[in-house]
């Protein structure tokens, strides 16, 4: 089962490089699961840190990143919130595939750990 957060991070890195230049490709996209379902499935705080480095408005940096984000097949909706947070909502198809993969796995997608507690 593919890790959705890593897929989003990869696409955001590509968008950051396209929007701000290749020298920013290694910037951490700071993707985290959203703690509020009203704000989407994942959130990125990358624009605020990058804006500070570039001495630009965080919302403008966030918009530049979103303008170059390649969402098809993964991200259904994206928006800028507050001072420059990027909220991302997965497509229904992605969520359905993840649920089906979990149902087909006897461990529900939870990997085995070397150090169980």
Report how far residue 115's alpha carbon sits from residue 117's, in angstroms, rounded to the nearest whole number. Answer: 7
Is 39 or 10 the better-scoring residue by pLDDT? 10
Written in H, E and C, the secondary structure of 73-106 is CCEEEEEEECCCEEEEEECHHHHHHHHHHHHHCC
* Residue from 106, 116, 88, 117 nearest 1 by CA: 106
Hey, is 22 helix, strand or coil?
helix
User: Which residue do the tokens 């993840």 mark?
Assistant: 98
**pLDDT the model gives residue 64:** 97
Confidence of residue 93 (pLDDT cuts 50, 70, 90): very high
Percent of the chain with pLDDT over 70: 98
**pLDDT the model gives residue 116:** 84
Residues 21-65: tens digit of each pLDDT: 999 999 999 999 998 888 889 999 999 999 999 999 999 999 999
């Amino acid at each position: 089962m593919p890790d959705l957060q890593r897929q989003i991070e990869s696409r955001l890195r590509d968008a950051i490089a396209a929007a701000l230049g290749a020298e920013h490709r290694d910037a951490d996209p700071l993707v985290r699961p959203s703690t509020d379902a009203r704000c989407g499935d994942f959130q990125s705080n990358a624009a605020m840190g990058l804006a500070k480095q570039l001495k630009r408005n965080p919302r403008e940096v966030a918009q530049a990143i979103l303008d170059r984000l390649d969402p098809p097949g993964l991200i259904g909706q994206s928006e800028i919130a507050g001072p420059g947070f990027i909220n991302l909502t997965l497509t229904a198809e992605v969520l359905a595939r993840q649920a089906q993969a979990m149902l087909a796995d006897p461990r529900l997608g939870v990997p085995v750990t070397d150090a169980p507690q």
